[in-house]
């Protein structure tokens, strides 16, 4: 039985200096990627439809979020000011279409308010949906 210590053994070490570089580059990549994404996007859960069509004319987007916040082209608008806001867009172009994106949890009464305003102003209105699948 040999109980003597071995003095020529090389200690086991893990080099982590390259790991710091990798983590720095990953952090930098995700910071740049998050800055490029559009921060003005409003997340909605749209209802699904199998007969959806794309709208190609001059369109503006009107959204109603789950907490009943109204936006026109990603700018917050009160429901009382909606007709005046839509009138400024109507004056810019003769043939205007509203793409109405509404969260699926919103009451139909809030949707009908926007539909009434569009009908009074003789503006076409399309309800935005997600494709089924």
pLDDT in tens, 107-123: 899 899 999 999 999 88
Q: What is the mean pLDDT of residues 37-44?
A: 64
> SS3 of 40, please?
coil
User: In sequence order, what DSSP letters do the residues of 8-39 get, joined into one string?
Assistant: SPPPP----HHHHHHHHHHHHHHHHHHHHS-T
List the domain boundaries for the chain.
Answer: 48-131
User: In sequence order, what DSSP letters do the residues of 61-94 get, joined into one string?
Assistant: EEEE-TT--EEETTEEE-GGGHHHHHHHHHHH-S
Looking at domain 48-131, its CATH architecture is 2-Layer Sandwich (3.30)
* pTM score, whole prediction: 0.57
Q: What is the pLDDT at residue 55?
A: 46
Q: What is the mean pLDDT of residues 6-26?
A: 80
Q: Model confidence over 45-83: pLDDT tens digits? A: 767 776 665 544 688 899 999 899 999 998 999 999 999
């Amino acid at each position: 039985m040999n109980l003597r210590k071995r003095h020529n053994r090389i200690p086991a070490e893990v080099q982590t200096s390259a790991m710091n570089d990798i983590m720095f580059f990953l952090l930098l990549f995700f910071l740049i990627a998050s800055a490029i994404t559009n921060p003005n996007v409003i997340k909605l859960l749209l209802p699904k439809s199998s007969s959806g069509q794309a709208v190609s004319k001059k369109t503006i987007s009107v959204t109603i979020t789950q907490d009943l916040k109204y936006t026109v082209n990603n700018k917050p608008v009160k429901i009382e000011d909606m007709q005046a806001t839509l009138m400024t867009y109507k004056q810019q172009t003769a043939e205007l279409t509203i793409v109405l994106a509404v969260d699926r949890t919103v009451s139909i009464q809030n949707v009908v308010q926007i539909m009434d305003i569009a009908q009074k102003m003789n503006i076409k209105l399309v309800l935005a949906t997600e494709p089924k699948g």
